[in-house]
Amino acid sequence: MSESSTHALTTTSLRARVYQLLENETNRNITAKIVNLLLIVLIITNVIAAIFESEADYHQLYQQEFYLFEVISLSIFCIEYLLRVWCSVEDEKYQASSNIKARLRYMMTPMAIIDLIAILPFIIALFFAVDLRALRLLRVLRLLKLTHYFKGFNIFISVINKELKSITAAMTVMMFLIIIAASLMHSVEGSIQPEAFGSIIQSFWWAVVTMTTVGYGDVVPVTSIGKIISTFIMLIGVGLVALPAGMLAARFGEELRERRKNLNAHIKDALSSGYIDNEQYQALEQLADKLEIEPRDLQRSINLLKQGHHGNKCPHCGK
């Protein structure tokens, strides 16, 4: 084997290993768990530092420490981002694409964009004379990077995507009603309370807090007709605002049932031979990880299905 071929194989092996550590082995590899835990701690401490730095006293007292911590954090996040882009070609989704196309496709994914946001202060500082501390909002947005490590976020995003049309329809109806309510109150209360209802735009604040049933009480109608309109708006708001929440709750339950049903179907298929060998079990572990089902839940499902499956002994050893 030539030296160039050996180097290519070594690079590919290293890239695959990095991919496993960052993306694919977080539940089964102790090194991956440690790496992910350290990154989680770094993200959380970054946000805490940004919060405390917004306090003038802390900023003056620990100015150099905050700056040094920010530089170190940005360096680590940049390295992490570059490594994720580099090893993204190992993802099965991009196997049919060239390395360049695979990396470009990965960089357009929501997760990669979130990682890019985390290092934006560094990129901006390269081209503009901006104090890194002034980009505090971007630093707080690093909380979004936690979506890499807490898989419940992925279920939430999946549910949102599947219910996006229904939620959009509900929000559109709510917006229409807010505009109508603001217009009505401007017509009824505008001449009496011009500071609060002098225009439809001014009336939006009252319409929003009333429709959402928050009711701060800073703006209230004083006429009888205005109070009657408010009553109907609040009653409509009680049901309408709760509608998207009900949709999401129902979809969450359905999504979890679908995932468990999918996993159980594969478990039954594996049990068709009478037992589950190591290769089949590893495949089930990978599927459970992809479906974001905990290993203990996988084992529980296997045990339950084994109890209901006849002839579940190994034909070779009888176990």
Q: Which of 242, 179, 236 is nearest to 211 (CA)?
A: 236
| CATH architecture type of domain 151-319 | Orthogonal Bundle (1.10)
pTM value is: 0.66
Domain extent listing, the chain? 3-150, 151-319
Amino acid type, 181: A
How many Cα atoms sit within 13 Å of 88 on the Cβ side? 23
In whole angstroms, give the CA distance from residue 40 to residue 22.
12
Spatial contact of 80 and 124, defined as CB atoms under 8 Å apart: no
Distances (CA, A) of 132 to 46, 53, 63, 70, 71: 13, 12, 12, 8, 9
Question: One fold for both 3-150 and 151-319?
Answer: no
Q: What is the pLDDT of residues 9-62, one digit of tens each?
A: 566 688 888 888 887 655 567 888 888 889 889 989 988 988 888 888 888 898
Q: What is the pLDDT of residues 80-121, one digit of tens each?
A: 999 999 998 888 888 888 889 999 999 998 888 888 888 887
3-150 classified as CATH 1.20.120.350: yes
| Confidence at residue 287, expressed as pLDDT on a 0 to 100 scale | 81
Q: Which of 18, 40, 39 is nearest to 29 (CA)?
A: 18
Over range 229-235, report the average pLDDT.
Answer: 90
Instruction: Spell out the residues 6+ positions from residue 138 whose beta carbon is closer than 8 angstroms to its own.
Output: 117, 118, 120, 121
| Confidence at residue 119, expressed as pLDDT on a 0 to 100 scale | 84
